Amino acid sequence: MWRSAQPGSFRAVATEFRSPLLIVGIRPTPEKLVRRSAYPGRSPLAIGSGWSRTWTFLEGEWHEGNVPIMGPRTHAAWLCSIVFDGARAFEGVTPDLELHCARVNDSAAKLFLKPTVSTETWVGLAREGIKKFDKDVALYIRPMYWAEKEGPWVQAHEPESTRWCLAIYEAPLRTPRGFSTTLSPYRRPTLESMPVDAKAGCLYPNNARALFEANSRGFDNAIVCDMLGNVAEFATSNIFMAKDGVVFTPAPNGTFLAGITRRRVIGLLRKSGVAVVEKTLTYQDFEKADEIFSTGNYSKVVPVTRIGDRSLQFGPIYTKAREFYWEFAHSSAVHSGATASSAVSPGS
């Protein structure tokens, strides 16, 4: 009943889909629609307003704005059967775009969704979509898979009903002003209790709780520990610290997504001769750090300027890490589509 686009045929027409105009029982006669358009604010089909400029590739076409993709019956809309990934376009470059597109397919399989779009197709669509925006504007590039239908038990979706889209929109890069952080009372779940090995939407409400709780105590962000009490990451991104010239970051232990930008920054620092140690770290280690910074696709490399009561400065290692990342992003390796492993290796 459900047909997903295959790699190489992503413009296939999905004849199973019906227009929302038909779905809501409105016959799209000219008279009716003229009447409706006179009251746009009363539309029952509205999906918000005030969005930054957005283009989405869905069902074989590009659409501008927050095009409807889910209704109340859509499995993902209430039972969260959705994975995504995020890449960036800024200053004419798209660092690690291929890796982000490959990872969304990996995440889909881990959530029992059916990844039907090849990495090459995602990348090709992203490059096509980027051209719809001004060159000087920073973009967020977000491929998504989600389930439309439920299976025999409602809680589990029907994998064959997997749908997908690629959303691209204007999202300024955060100015690295620095942010404050604290210890969160919330923890990262384990792989047994949540799909922490996938970039799954269901992981984020817990991060949101950590942010709301930290904000309520006057902090911008929070350091979240794993179930063993060791530091896992920020509520928003991966975490690094520097002490006596050496960089430390939590060793991947399956409780947080060891990110593409994290891996990239580790490689760039090591290539320049900075020692980076991946190990088990406690909140107390961070309290005594010379520098703390975060890495993530959305904001790249951003410094911490306060942990608890203690102020921190923009440090030399943070500054280097951000510079190295920008150099990398503008290097030819990015444009030739090199993989992280080859680009991180000194030989590449």
Query: Using CB under 8 A, which residues numbered 122 to 161 contact its own copies?
Result: 142, 144, 146, 148-149, 151, 153-157, 161
Q: Which is nearer to its own copies, 25 or 218 (CB)?
A: 25
| The total number of residues written for the chain in this structure | 348
- 28-36, 266-274, 285-293, 333-341 -> range binding its own copies (CB under 8 A): 28-36
* Residue 14: CB atoms within 10 Å: 13
Binding its own copies by CB under 8 A: which of 6, 7, 8, 51? Answer: 51
Calculate ∠ Cα 308-309-310, nearest 5°: 95
Q: Is 13 in the site for its own copies (CB under 8 A)?
A: yes
304, amino acid identity: V
Coil vs helix vs strand at 93: strand
Binding its own copies by CB under 8 A: which of 36, 270, 306, 330? Answer: 36
Shortest separation between residue 231's beta carbon and its own copies, angstroms: 15
Q: Is 53 in the site for its own copies (CB under 8 A)?
A: no
Output the six-digit token pair for 307.
Answer: 């942990």
**Among residues 265, 285, 286, which one has the least CA distance to residue 276?**
265
**Among residues 83, 72, 91, 75, which one has the least CA distance to residue 114?**
83
- 17-25, 285-293, 327-335, 340-348 -> range binding its own copies (CB under 8 A): 17-25
- Annotate each residue in 286-305 with x if it binds its own copies (CB under 8 A) or - if it does not, as one string: ------------x-------
Binding its own copies by CB under 8 A: which of 4, 81, 230, 238? Answer: 81
* Strand partners for 140: 88, 169
Q: Is 256 in the site for its own copies (CB under 8 A)?
A: no
- 23-31, 122-130, 305-313, 317-325 -> range binding its own copies (CB under 8 A): 23-31
**61-64 vs 54-58, strand pairing mode:** antiparallel
Q: Which is nearer to its own copies, 15 or 332 (CB)?
A: 15
127 vs 65, 120, 260, CA distance in Å? 18, 11, 20
248 neighbors 285 (Cβ within 8 angstroms): yes
Q: Is 165 in the site for its own copies (CB under 8 A)?
A: yes
Shortest separation between residue 110's beta carbon and its own copies, angstroms: 9
Compute φ and ψ for 262, nearest 5 degrees: -55, -50
Q: Is 82 in the site for its own copies (CB under 8 A)?
A: yes
CA distance 323 to 202: 33
- 63-71, 123-131, 261-269, 310-318 -> range binding its own copies (CB under 8 A): 63-71
Shortest separation between residue 24's beta carbon and its own copies, angstroms: 5
